[in-house]
Amino acid sequence: MAKKKDTVAKDLSTEEKIKAAAKKLFTQKGFAATKTRDIAEEAGINLALLNYYFRSKEKLFELVMRENLSLFVGVLLEDIKNTPRSFEEQMNFLVGRYIDMLLENPDLPFFILNLIQSGHFQTDDQGNPVLKEITQLRAEFLKYAMEQMEQGKIKKIHPLHLMANMMSMIIFPFIASSILMARSGITDRKEFERLMIERKKLIPQWMKEMVEIR
Amino acid sequence: MAKKKDTVAKDLSTEEKIKAAAKKLFTQKGFAATKTRDIAEEAGINLALLNYYFRSKEKLFELVMRENLSLFVGVLLEDIKNTPRSFEEQMNFLVGRYIDMLLENPDLPFFILNLIQSGHFQTDDQGNPVLKEITQLRAEFLKYAMEQMEQGKIKKIHPLHLMANMMSMIIFPFIASSILMARSGITDRKEFERLMIERKKLIPQWMKEMVEIR
DNA sequence: TCAATAATTAATCATTTGTTTAAAAATAGT
DNA sequence: ACTATTTTTAAACAAATGATTAATTATTGA
């Protein structure tokens, strides 16, 4: 029997197939490197249908972008705010949530970074609500960290270092997995995932040590 | 008088001007998003000269790629090997060297990551000597970390976590600076650099705490 | 059942983009 | 000064790419 093609699932509506294909390719390769014909092929549909359903490549990209950005900040923003937590609890919560999400969407960090670098950020109409969400998330974290410092709960460091370290240790492995895992160029997906799951416990510990008053 | 254009320096040979422009654009935007006409304009030369001097866009990209990859691994590989150092000294050395290099070439991490993701890595002819260099650097670090552990100098952790953390904390801020610094979207370059210089001392301390046997 | 609407297709268009060509201008060697 | 060589230029080509068109097929609703 013929091998199943590594393409988007077939039991979706045409519109959904196109969106899924676009999401996959835009996320993996970015805007410029993704051709409308690639999307059509990946979705298994006629090229014209892309414009029929989504007007243009740009519009389709913006759709994917909005969804990806929601994913990227949404996981945390929903309840970082009101819930009071000790630093350790907070770390366990944030890190666990985020790594779980990234294990499901390992290409997301690359997409976001590509977005930043390419300047396609601005494309998002009027006032840029998504960048605003990131800024809000950042503000929320910084506020939390500074409160903890003022209450003498944690050591005083520039809170941006804390935020940088947390984000770095969570996100970076996902964009550099092939460097980290490279055994003569081959990435071992399973072993990588095992390590990332380990990190859900380890990163909070390291973060705690980082701010411990001795 | 006319304003000076923000383009590549004028006192270079045509060939050098093209290479410099290509390096700038390829590094900032990657292969697919950089158009030959952009390079020509940035270099202030006639489009045909690009092919006259470098045959093709691909060849020019490979040239830039090779130089960037050398930068990315060369700084460390040259003398991580033979020099025996305590863990703290080693960290101070590696982190200092690397952050200095990245302050000079802040777009380099994005270029490398873009390279990985796009698969343009393989383009480098026969056997892929550059990926080999990265693998070598990785092996060198892992060997060092495991030696330290066996000698009881540092705590036993999976050395990949150590490597991931070091690379993450050094490199990630450079690809996410606009998220980290975003004060309603504007990146404050000077403040960012100040923080990165601070990190030359801080990261080794954090790494040390991470492996301390208490 | 049948007309109206929606979805799909193949073909084509208009731009963009990488590359080439042939002629002109600049430079070097004698 | 003069010619050979190198460098530069404008123009054009061919392929790739995003988008549209007009005709065909499928679906819906009465």
Number of helices (H), then strands (E), belonging to chain B: the values are 10, 0
Give the residue carrying structure tokens 């606009």: B178
Closest alpha carbon to C1' of D7, residue: B49
A147-157 pLDDT, tens digit each: 999 999 999 99
Contact between A202 and B161 under an 8 Å Cβ cutoff? The reply is yes
Alpha-carbon gap, residue A42 to A36, rounded angstroms: 10
Contact between A180 and A173 under an 8 Å Cβ cutoff? The reply is yes
| Mean pLDDT (chain A, rounded) | 88
Alpha-carbon gap, residue A3 to A6, rounded angstroms: 9
Stretch B105-124: mean pLDDT: 83
Q: Is the CB of B29 under 7 A from strand C?
A: no
Rounded alpha-carbon distances, angstroms, from residue A39 to A4, A22, A30, A124: 18, 6, 12, 21
Whole-number pLDDT of residue B118? 87
Token reading at B55: 């045959």
A148-196 pLDDT, tens digit each: 999 999 999 999 999 999 999 999 999 999 889 976 556 689 999 999 9
A93-112 pLDDT, tens digit each: 999 999 999 999 999 999 99
Any chain A CB within 8 A of the CB of B110? Answer: yes
Does A208 score more than 60 pLDDT? Answer: yes
A40-49, A91-100, A109-118, B2-11: lowest mean pLDDT where? B2-11
Alpha-carbon gap, residue A5 to A8, rounded angstroms: 9
Whole-number pLDDT of residue A1? 28
Q: Structural domains in chain B?
A: 8-55 (1.10.10.60), 64-211 (1.10.357)
Any chain B CB within 8 A of the CB of A180? Answer: yes
All residues at 6 or more sequence positions from B42 whose CB lies less than 8 Å from its CB, including other chains: B7, B8, B21, B24, B25
Does B161 score more than 50 pLDDT? Answer: yes
Tell me which range, A63-77, B39-53, B112-126, is most confidently predicted by mean pLDDT: B39-53
Token reading at A85: 């937590």
Does A130 score more than 80 pLDDT? Answer: no
Global pTM reads 0.90
- With CA of A60 and C1' of each nucleotide, the nearest comes out as D18
Residue A125: pLDDT band by 50, 70, 90 thresholds? very low
Which among B54, B160, B64 has a CA at the least distance from the CA of B112? Answer: B64
